[in-house]
């Protein structure tokens, strides 16, 4: 398959991107969820245990039960699907439009701006689920499940509570996604200049993009955690959260959980991009129409199975290009 076949058809079909993006988002978050729980716990102002990633995970399992690291996953499943569907559809459409306007003369700017626009849409959809998820992840969380937590937050704090951290989330994710997409597209231009379907290139480019963007935006992620969990009264905005973090642990407190965040984002981004590009390739290759409906004899499930058997390596290595 040449570049035009792989890139042009999906760019014209939002349903293609939404379907691939939703599946990629759910898979990414479910696979990496335990590490996300560890990261949230390490960033907590009231953490009862400050140690390494392994020590924090072991503490959670030993003191709170084997299933504690996956508590709140239901919120992620409900939020990640629609959020990532909107995210990838917005990114691809923005990239397509801006590339036409600039005639591909400023690709890095195009990729960065497209990532920013996609982030605004994604965060508006995902922020309520993020609030519920992080409250369930906290030590001594009083909630028994996703719906109980959501009802309690709404009754006690109102609808605004679900978007209290939206400004901080956007302030973090706009630079995160701009850096993420610029890095991913740059790595793709080096590892996969023909822009064909190349699983190892997608894995490595995604891992590099996720790691770099995660490390650079950790201070804002710490502030977001403080706002979402409301561990301290009066944390009502980015400046207030930053002041609380600074008082609680000094400048280094802004990098609490940085290793967990990087270790989460590297494989998460790699999984997300590989899944997204694989489904995009399957839909394009095995006969789905431009409008997103299946052509006769070419259902998506069969396409995905054929792709998995034929193209995707069983155990791809992030260290290989």
CA distance 57 to 257: 12
Model pLDDT, residue 296: 37
**Could you tell me the fold of the domain covering 3-310?**
Mitochondrial carrier fold (1.50.40)
* Residue 91: how many other CB atoms lie within 10 Å: 23
Model pLDDT, residue 278: 92
* pLDDT tens, position by position, 26-61: 998 999 999 999 988 888 776 655 678 898 899 889
Using alpha carbons only, how large is the chain's radius of gyration in Å? 20
Model pLDDT, residue 49: 59
Q: Is 0.85 topped by the overall pTM?
A: no
Return phi, psi of residue 211, to 5°.
-65, -50
* pLDDT tens, position by position, 159-177: 999 998 898 889 888 999 8
Q: Which residues make beta-bridge pairs with 288?
A: 294
Model pLDDT, residue 227: 87
Model pLDDT, residue 114: 93
107 CB-contact burial (10 Å; exposed 0-12 / middle 13-18 / buried 19+): middle
CB 72 within 8 A of CB 146: yes
DSSP string, 98-121: HHHHHTTS-HHHHHHHHHHHHHHH
Model pLDDT, residue 204: 97
Distances (CA, A) of 108 to 122, 187, 204: 21, 12, 19
Handedness of CA 110, 115, 116, 121 (dihedral sign): positive
Q: Which residues of the chain have pLDDT under 70?
A: 1-12, 46-50, 231-234, 287-321
Model pLDDT, residue 231: 66
First-to-last alpha carbon distance for the chain, in angstroms, is: 20
Residue spans of the domains in the chain: they are 3-310
- What distance lies between CA 259 and its chain's CA centroid? 17
């Amino acid at each position: 398959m040449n570049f035009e076949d792989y890139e042009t058809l999906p760019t014209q079909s939002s349903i293609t991107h939404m379907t691939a993006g939703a599946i990629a988002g759910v898979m990414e978050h479910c696979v990496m969820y335990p590490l996300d729980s560890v990261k949230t716990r390490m960033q907590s102002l009231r953490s009862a245990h400050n140690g390494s990633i392994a020590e924090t995970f072991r503490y959670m399992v030993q003191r709170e039960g084997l299933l504690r690291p996956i508590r709140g996953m239901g919120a992620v499943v409900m939020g990640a699907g629609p959020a990532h569907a909107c995210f990838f559809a917005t990114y691809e459409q923005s990239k397509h439009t801006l590339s036409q306007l600039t005639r591909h003369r400023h690709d890095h700017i195009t990729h960065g701006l497209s990532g920013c626009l996609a982030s605004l849409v994604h965060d508006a959809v995902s922020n309520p689920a993020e609030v519920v998820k992080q409250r369930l992840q906290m030590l001594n969380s009083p909630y028994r499940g996703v719906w109980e937590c959501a009802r309690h937050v709404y009754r006690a704090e109102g609808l605004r509570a679900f978007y209290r951290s939206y400004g901080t989330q956007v302030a973090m994710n706009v630079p995160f996604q701009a850096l993420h997409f610029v890095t991913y597209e740059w790595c793709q231009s080096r590892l996969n200049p023909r822009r064909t379907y190349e699983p190892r290139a997608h894995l490595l480019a995604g891992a590099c993009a996720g790691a770099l963007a995660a490390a650079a935006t950790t201070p804002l992620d710490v502030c977001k955690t403080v706002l979402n969990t409301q561990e301290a009264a009066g944390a009502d905005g980015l400046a207030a959260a930053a002041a609380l973090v600074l008082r609680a642990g000094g400048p280094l407190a802004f990098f609490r959980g940085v290793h967990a965040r990087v270790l989460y984002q590297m494989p998460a981004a790699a999984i997300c991009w590989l899944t997204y590009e694989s489904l995009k390739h399957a839909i394009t290759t095995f006969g789905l129409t431009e409008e997103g409906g299946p052509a006769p004899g070419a259902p998506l499930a069969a396409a995905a199975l054929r792709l998995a058997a034929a193209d995707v390596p069983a155990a791809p290595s992030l260290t290989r290009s």
